[in-house]
A and B are shown apart, each in its own frame.
Chain A
Amino acid sequence: MEAWQKVFLSEASFFETVHGRYGCITCHGGNGAADDKEAAHEGVVREPASAEACGDCHPEQVASDGSSLHSNLAGYSVVLAARSVPSKMAQLDVMMGNHCESCHTTCGQCHVSRPTNLGGGLVAGHEFKGIPPMNLTCTGCHGSRIENEYKGKNEGVKADVHWVKGGMPCFDCHSADEMHGALGEFESRYEGPPTPGCQDEGCHPNVGVDDDNMQHSEFHFEALSCQACHSTTYKNCYSCHVGLEDETAYFKTEPSEMAFKLGRNPLQSEDRPWKYVPVRHVPVDRDSFSYYGEDLLPNFDALPTWKYATPHNIQRITPQNEACNACHGNAELFLTAEDVRPDELEANKDVIVEELPFSMP
């Protein structure tokens, strides 16, 4: 997107809309009387604060916004705190400011423009989109893993059945309440019950031990998450390192690898009771943030690097569920010590599968 396109109001009719009638300066500031570019933009705020710009008319959404993981980035800060110690958090906060803040989403970055993470830019001439455009906002950030899985962009891997057959956009499953933090305060997207749950009303409420699928046994429902049987090969990322050059933040990662691995459930709870779940390698490394200081993750081993995952490439028939022994006794399918890098064995001790399910006769 060219620089001029990002700020081009292609439709003057915007000024006739409810939002447009507030005018430019009400939200963005600046000097509308000046005819010089610099003077006109003095004091301009590209990204108006949600509470001030939106709270007057949308108080509920703004009130819960602080609980939104898209807004508070709790998922990042919680795991960094777990892998680090309080004395190192100041350096990590600087790192977060340089590398993660652009992932922080505001009202406008979903409903008006593309996320800052992608360089920004109006999506439809400043029109306010009640439902954000999935391709420009959701998958703009969640592209390399989620979009590629969901739309079948990983070579040789089918797209998600909900996309191919159902044509379901992201927000068919991920509600506005979830996006706006209205479901409560969570430390990660996997805290609390699955939202949505596959067997929720309106999805697959009739799937269960009483249906006519032989593999939907009580044992399987207790042992396996839905994705363990119905997702397939997905992307795993390794060794991300961040830094600054001429005040420009950058990252470098190793090439990703495609794999499907079932590990022991690292988040086993009443809401997620399964013994085995797919686990995905995340790109964190012991010295990912060494640009900002030495040994900033002294408790690196406190969390696994193969993490609970919900791959978005759901299929009814998958390689692991097409026959009993495609799963039972299949060492290729499970995360064993051989799959884990030697310096990450301690971190992943709780997810490595030591005893495979027995082979069927």
Chain B
Amino acid sequence: MATQLKRRQRLAGLLLLMSILLLVPLLAGCGEPPAIAAVAPTPTAYPPPPTDIPPPPPGPTPAALDFPLPAPAHLELGQTNEEHCVDCHTDEETLKALAEKAEENQESLSEGEG
């Protein structure tokens, strides 16, 4: 009889302990959250204004006002026959033979430093 009584008391104590363990976290969630310390807002940091503002670009020149330029009279690559141009102007001996003799001994009429 006494043994049964002790078992009931232990069981009741165990149930009580479990109840407390369950209730404590539940009740803790209902409590007031910890206060956050108030901090004065820091001023926003802005970059300094630029000191080396580039000068305005120069005004358009008369030539610029003529734009757009007329389309260049380009020919399609390979359209012209330039074989003779290249043959002659890359051949030293041919150029020497065809050079204008008049230029050879031309002396400047100028005197003094230019």
Pairwise interchain contact B109-A32, C-beta atoms closer than 8 A: no
Contact with A along B52-77 (1 / 0, CB 8 A): 00000011011110110111111101
CB-based A-B contact count at 8 angstroms: 128
Among the listed stretches A1-9, A262-270, A274-282, A294-302, which one makes contact with chain B, having 4 or more residues with CB under 8 Å of it? A1-9
Q: Which residues of B contact A59 (CB under 8 A)?
A: 67, 69
Q: Which residue of B lies closest to A51 (CB)?
A: B69
**Quick one: which of A138-176 are within 8 Å of B by CB?**
144
Do A64 and B63 form a contact, CB below 8 Å, given A23-B80, A23-B82? Answer: yes
Q: How far is the CA of A51 from the CA of B71 in the complex (A)?
A: 9
Q: How far is A26 from B82 in the complex, measured between Cα atoms in Å? A: 10
- Check A65/B63 contact, CB under 8 A, given A23-B77, A24-B85, A254-B112: yes
Interface of A is mostly: mixed
Cβ contact of B75, chosen from A2, A26, A40, A181, cutoff 8 A = A26
State how many angstroms separate the Cβ of B67 from the closest Cβ of chain A.
Answer: 6
Which B residues are in CB contact (< 8 Å) with A361?
Answer: none
The answer to whether A53 and B72 have CB atoms under 8 Å apart is: yes
Specify which of A22, A67, A144 is in contact with B113 (CB 8 Å cutoff).
Answer: A144
Q: Which residues of chain B are near A240, meaning CB under 8 Å? A: 112
Option from A21, A32, A253, A255 in Cβ contact (under 8 Å) with B81:
A32
- Write the chain B residue with the least CB distance to A148: B113
Check B77 against A25 for contact (C-beta < 8 Å).
no
User: Is the CB of B114 closer than 8 A to any CB of chain A?
Assistant: yes
Give chain B nearest CB distance to A121 CB in angstroms. 11
What is the CA–CA distance of A59 and B75 in the complex, to the nearest angstrom? 19
**Chain A residues in the interface with B (C-beta under 8 A):** 2-4, 7-10, 12, 15, 21-26, 30, 32-35, 37, 40, 51-53, 55-56, 59, 62-67, 144, 181-185, 235, 237, 240, 245, 248, 250-256
